[in-house]
Amino acid sequence: RKEVEQDPGPFNVPEGATVAFNCTYSNSASQSFFWYRQDCRKEPKLLMSVYSSGNEDGRFTAQLNRASQYISLLIRDSKLSDSATYLCVVNGGGGADGLTFGKGTHLIIQP
């Protein structure tokens, strides 16, 4: 079983729409969760951390469900500039204390 699983997409979404995607993780001992964003041929950059109580940053909302071991990301009023690959990241997965990255969900915002 893969440690961090994401739907690779692509998700083709019209500008202004709301889009949501999930990520599941296998290690119940994981304690830290993040969403990173990666643009084509660029390095990953932190989008937001995911807290147990859920958190919001502008148009972005992240939720954590420990019982079901999944994390979600919601993007409201999507912009063309949101087009990217979104990586779900969990600690305590692969290495003793390293981060485990999902393969990413590819999002394309269409005008």
- Contacting positions for another protein (CB under 8 A): 31-32, 34, 42-46, 49, 87, 91-92, 94-104
Q: Could you tell me the smallest distance in angstroms from the CB atom of residue 50 to another protein? A: 12
Q: Could you tell me the smallest distance in angstroms from the CB atom of residue 5 to another protein? A: 11
Q: Which amino acid is at 100?
A: T
Q: Could you tell me the smallest distance in angstroms from the CB atom of residue 80 to another protein? A: 23
38, 83 contact by CB (below 8 A): no
36, 45 contact by CB (below 8 A): yes
CB atoms within 10 A of CB 37: 19
Q: How far apart are CA 34 and CA 79, in angstroms?
A: 21
Q: How far apart are CA 66 and CA 71, in angstroms?
A: 8
Whichever of 34 and 78 has its CB closer to another protein, that residue is 34
Q: Could you tell me the smallest distance in angstroms from the CB atom of residue 29 to another protein? A: 12
Whichever of 53 and 97 has its CB closer to another protein, that residue is 97
Whichever of 5 and 76 has its CB closer to another protein, that residue is 5
